[in-house]
Amino acid sequence: MTGHNIWVYEEQTENMRLGLRVKKVLESLESKFQRIEVVETYQYGKMLILDGLYQTCDKWEFFYHEMLVHVPMFAHPNPKDVLIIGGGDGGSLKNVLKHPKVHVDLVEIDKKVIEISKKYFDFPQTGNFSIFLENGLEYLKRTDKKYDIIIVDGSDPIGPAQDLFKHEFFHLSYEKLRDDGMFVTQSGSPIIGDYHEYFFDTFKKLKQIFPIVLPYFTVVPIYPTGYWSFIIASKGPDPRTPKRKALKEMDLKYYNEEVHRASFAIPNFLLKRMQGELL
Ligand code: SPD
């Protein structure tokens, strides 16, 4: 194997994998919680991989982070206190901090992910935020704080992110939100295999707790199928309607008001399965 023929693969199902040719391996280690790798790829730039799953890459991180963050941030009338659970690479934090007068608490289980992301990715060095190194579920159990928005930026529901898809976690999130609060989580690809199931499972669990629950969609080229979902749950405000316009200085590369509204469009094959459960 020569330097020019190193490839990294994500086994996305037992019959499908996505391979990228690697220019350089920058980090490869085992933390207390997971295997962490950072590689420089020819196609997509630097990429963070946790337990073999592609998490983020220089080139396309904005497709995911801008949609995860700005849809709830602009749908809420006046977000001030935001909680991010997971998101140790800093992509979500960077985007929330683009909003004025916001304080962010970031709860990440793995200190190593933050250290590595400060070195290789765009993890904010300063700003109005606090970091808590702990399990998101445990944090919700112990905190007395109330939030306007809770953003769950975890990996797939295996390994350290498992707790972030439990009914108890969703229920505690509801309790820690103010009366007009909103919760959002990444919810996988609604197209294939296990991913498909965790999309529906997350939707159903949230429906038992929140009055308004809706999926919305984006494209993430490095994730399985490239077609990715989020589920947003609201205590009051309609998540489909942006309440403010993005400011020019936010320098957004994907999100705008039209994309916000359009991302809530649900294709027929999903509508069929969700019939009767939507608004
Ligand atoms: N299949 C992996 C999905 C990962 C979603 N979260 C990524 C975290 C990026 N901040």
pLDDT (0 to 100) of residue 55: 97
Instruction: Answer whether 223 contacts ligand 1 (Cβ < 6 A).
Output: yes
- What are the tokens at 14? 């037992």
pLDDT (0 to 100) of residue 276: 65
Mean pLDDT for the chain overall: 94
Residue 246 alpha carbon to ligand 1 centre in Å: 24
Q: What percent of the chain has pLDDT over 90?
A: 85
- What are the tokens at 268? 């027929």
Render pLDDT for 74-98 as a digit per residue (tens, 0 to 9): 999 999 999 999 999 999 999 999 9
Render pLDDT for 169-209 as a digit per residue (tens, 0 to 9): 999 999 999 999 999 999 999 888 766 788 999 999 999 99
Render pLDDT for 143-169 as a digit per residue (tens, 0 to 9): 999 999 999 999 887 777 888 889 999
Q: Is the pLDDT of residue 2 over 50?
A: no
Residue 16 alpha carbon to ligand 1 centre in Å: 18
pLDDT (0 to 100) of residue 279: 55
Render pLDDT for 119-137 as a digit per residue (tens, 0 to 9): 999 999 999 999 999 999 9
Render pLDDT for 11-58 as a digit per residue (tens, 0 to 9): 998 899 999 999 999 999 999 999 999 999 999 999 999 999 999 999
Mutate to test the pocket of ligand 1, among 122, 186, 187, 218 (most ligand atoms within 8 A of CB): 186
pLDDT (0 to 100) of residue 134: 96
Render pLDDT for 54-77 as a digit per residue (tens, 0 to 9): 999 999 899 999 999 999 999 999
Q: What is the reported pTM? A: 0.96
